[in-house]
Structures are given as C-alpha cells and as structure tokens.
Amino acid sequence: MEFSKRFVALGDSFTEGMGDVDPRRPHQVRGWADRVAEQLCADPEWGYANLAIRGKKVGQVVAEQLPAALALKPTLVTLYMGGNDILRPAVDIDSLMLRYRDAVAQLSATGAAVVLFTGFDSNGSAIFGKTRGRTAIYNETVREIADDRGAVIADYWRWREFRDGRYWATDRLHMNTAGHTLMARKVLGVLEHEAHIEVPGLPALHPKSRAERLREDAAWAREHLVPWVKRRLAGTSSGDALSPRYPGYVSLAAAAAS
C-alpha cells in the first residue's frame, strides 16, 4: 500500500517501546511511537515504520537504521539516540554528536519534518544521576542541531511530569504504560496534532519505610542491574538478536481505541 504521509521512528529502547508491555505486538511492546502512529493513521494517508531497537548506540543507529530510514522516504522522522552511549563508563560527547549532526543533516535533506528528543533529567537518581552532566551537554548540542536544521524539539529534559516515579517501569530505566501514553500526548502536541489519548490514572502514593525501600532496591539490582552489567562486560546487548518491529510501512489505525 502506498502512503503519501510517512512516519519513521528511529532509535533505541525508548522509541522501541520498552516498558509498555503488549503481548499482541512485535517484541511484545507498544510504546509512545505506536501510540502517536495510531493517532496519525486515523488518516489513511499515513503509514508508520519503527526501526528502533533496544540497546543500540549512536554508531549502530547511524549504520543500521539511517540507511533504511532514508530508503523509506519519510515525510516525518523522530530520532532519539545517544542514551546508551551516555551510560557507558567513558564517552566522547563531541565525537558522538558529530555523528548525530551528520545523521540529522541527511534526514533533513530529504525534506522530511524531523523531531529530535533531549535526554531525560536524571537529577535525584542514585545510579543515573551521575550522567546528568553528560546529558546536559548532549541536550545543548541537540538544540543547536535543531536550530541549524530546522528540526523540532521534543523536550524530555523540561517535561517535569516525568520525574514522578509512577510513570516509570520497575527497571527504573524505561517508562511504563502511563509514561509512554503521556509521552505520546507530548509528541502529538509538538506535532500540533490533536491527541485523542487518555493517560491512565496514577496509583496513589504511599510512604515506604526504609526497610521496604531497601527490599525494592535489592530486587531491582538482582532483576535488572546485574543482568545489565553482565551484558556490558560481555559486550552484548539485549537487542542483538532483534529486528525492527515495523521495518516497512503499516497502518495502526485499527489499534487507536485499544
């Protein structure tokens, strides 16, 4: 089927949809990009492709996803990459952003509208807060690139609602269903597109004792941190065996009300 309006989503687990579980979908996740696509695809002229794969770094997104995206001739592109690089023990932000800049230049040259994401403000996180300075530098460069290329910013850093832990999955790294739904509303707002999306209500906040917090921290370390560290040491990624969820254009209009 030919589509006159074509949305391609590029990146890593954030765009793949990790944390928003849906066993009916490829990779058993849904995510904000699917939710945005559902709204766009209510217009049958829209098609949607999602090339994002968890664990991918900038070099991999550029080498593997960018050529495929260009071949799809999109009219709208969303791009978030760099989070997995920033989490590494050492990273050359300047070199990283040169590759980022070149990728955006190639996407912009197609005439497509380009949406770029700033990184999340990890202030207050005992683990990820240590990378806050790197993310701030990354964000400023993303803003410069957006200015230079006429791209639009989806400003994750400044969307303070996401500091509420109830928008996050148990792995503390990815948004949950409520978080992805809220993100979809935010992105649709950036696109100036009406959003027929209701964000799920958040559970009530209950104070936790120190013992409860320690038990939760121990469970998180066992179930999520230790496997992540093992993959880093082995030089592997959770996305190594995965292919893109939607490598070619599809319409998700039928799922809009689900």
Across 54-71, b (16+ Cβ under 10 Å) vs e yields bbbbbebbbeebbeebbe
Are the C-beta atoms of residues 85 and 47 closer than 8 Å to each other? Answer: no
Across 155-175, b (16+ Cβ under 10 Å) vs e yields ebbeeeebeeeebbbebbbbb
Task: Show the tokens assigned to 187.
Answer: 């992105």
Concatenated DSSP letters of 16-59: HTTTSB-TTSGGGB-HHHHHHHHHHTTSTTEEEEE---TT--HH
Domains of the chain plus CATH, in order, are 5-200+210-255 (3.40.50.1110)
The model's pTM is 0.91
pLDDT tens, per residue, the chain with 258 residues: 799 999 999 999 999 999 999 999 999 999 999 999 999 999 999 999 999 999 999 999 999 999 999 999 999 999 999 999 998 889 999 999 999 999 999 999 999 999 999 999 988 776 677 899 999 999 999 999 999 999 999 999 999 999 999 999 999 899 999 999 999 999 999 999 998 999 998 988 888 888 877 787 788 778 877 877 777 777 777 888 899 999 999 999 754 344
**pLDDT value for 258:** 42
* N residues, the chain: 258
**pLDDT value for 58:** 98
**pLDDT value for 102:** 98
Neighbours of 188 (CB within 10 A): 19
**pLDDT value for 207:** 84
**pLDDT value for 238:** 81
**pLDDT value for 126:** 64
**pLDDT value for 241:** 87
